[in-house]
Structure 1
Amino acid sequence: MIVGKQKQHDRSAILVTGAMGQIGFELVRTMQNIGKVIALDRAAFDLCQPDQICAVIRTIKPVIIINAAAYTDVNAAENNPDLAMQINAQALSVLVDEAKRVRASIIHYSTDYVFNGKKDLPYTEEDKADPINFYGVSKLAGEQVISSAGGHHIILRTSWVYGMRGKNFLLKILRLGKEQDTIKVVSDQIGSPTWSNTVATMTTHIVVQALHARDIRQWWQENSGIYHLTAAGSTSWYGFAKAIFDMIAIGSVPTIIPTLTSEFPAQVERPTNSCLSNDKLERVFCLRPPRWDQALKVFLRFCRKYKISYYNNP
């Protein structure tokens, strides 16, 4: 559990769940100057424990709840659909009810996996959702729980998130690079690799806009809805992997071989096109995320500067 400087019953408190996850951990860093942030990990705020959800929200009485907790293991969701649905959707019913009780607004994270990936252009918020795996089904169900409740909410769909924590493509490809001279990487799936810090920074800007609004409730009424939030630009998994090793440029690097999805036996079908349009985010909040390759360069430079190993991540 990570707790910022605040009074427990302060109505300007902001509750962040999933504090030890990729986005939650970065939120603790990007929101530290806001001051009144209470960030809780799974031990203190478990979405599988409805009574705990109720008790925490009623005690803290936050003005905003940022839900960065989720069941994110795509493969495991196929084998554990009940658990995925419980965490990604059913628990949100309790969260929404308690938010209404204390008049808190909600910011929640969703995914490109709510789409089938067959569109040729980046997906917009108006495109019809059509998930092709159970992880996507559970995340879409969570969106519907929050949207149908009618409370103040912002749902931020992101994709291809990476960082120093958890399980993500960047950490996996770096580990493989230490173990193998040659790595085959899928080249016919495209998306926008998005640093978790980018998501947290954009979220923080949105929170600041809300808190500084002349009428915060009117602000939420006007801006509630679904938004896409990813890095700008796009590449394939192959392009992402090649950029990672090109930017590291230290020691020997593996040879990256472009490979078709059909050559990989997959337990779960994944979208071919995971690109999301940020146009609405920019139009409504005047926020423009950085290009994926620029953010990747900053991330790797940050790790080198502070001697952070992305090989031995927490």
Structure 2
Amino acid sequence: MEQQVLQIRRSRSKSRTGAANIAVLGAGGLGMAAARMLAQKKEMRLSAIADKTGFVIEPEGIDPQVLVDKKPGDIGTRTDDAIGEIIRNSHAFDGIFIALPNLTNDFIPDVVSGFAEHGYSGVMVDALKRSGAVEMIFKLDDKLKQSGITYITGAGATPGLLTCAAALAANSFMEVLGVDINFGVGVSNWESYRATIREDIAHLDGFDLDRASRMTCAEIKDELDRRCGILRLGSMEHADDVLLERAGIVSREKVSVGGVVDTRNPKKPVSTTMTLRGRTFDGTVSSHRFILGDETTMAANVVGPALGWMKAGLEFHARGIFGVFGSAEIMPRFVR
């Protein structure tokens, strides 16, 4: 009953303001892109943002000018416990988008546990990529249900947008034979997406999460220079496999993810595609292909869908549906 009353109060508060209050954890490339995107939305507004050194909280909405030209480490009030500040003020937020680095699989699950233990009751969405980290989030299902949290994991581009496209495409077939995701990412300055590039480096031969997390910026720059700014990635540990298997689409070993990242050029080195092969009810083998526009950036393809899943999560939460869901299980809603 207490959760139901809280849910009603939150719903009424949202209806008065006309927009859902969203907190963004992470102020790197994706976090700042989320701030810029939210500034152009009517149904949601940025009410908090934090990185490892600082935070801004304004329940009535953060003035976008406050964040203009800000860089990581230069956000709002300085503190060694910015995430803790968001957790302690979490009653003010309808939704939380997690755009934090995930260089150890347990980091974001531990952050999420902190919100549940504090009694947060709302919606949380992440853009996690690694299968191991997403599996750890699913293990929090009972804990998040008890707290009244509706959580959607793997809700970026891949996993996320392309995973959901695969789940939809699968319906043409009786059996899915395989899913192949090949992405192209172009960024003009790798330092704007340090966390993402570090995670990508961890997938290269001879590297792992531990080694990548310990590399200095100078060492990363040297590695990128050695590769002429190009990272070629194959057979990645990407959570598309876990999410599609959990949704009953295809077993994880039949999902392949790879791509090319150009860290010196905003133009995509290759088009981003999802190809699903299957066998139809009349025995024909065919494939569907979903291609992202080359002009859409990584930020657009990660943050936009994440906010779409946030809106879906808010609808679920208002109906009293709590726990952990994968992005392949729910269609995102379009945020106006």
Give the alignment's TM-score, normalised by structure 2. Answer: 0.42
Higher RCO, 1 or 2 (CA under 8 Å, sep at least 6)?
A: 2
User: Structure 1 or 2: larger strand share?
Assistant: 2
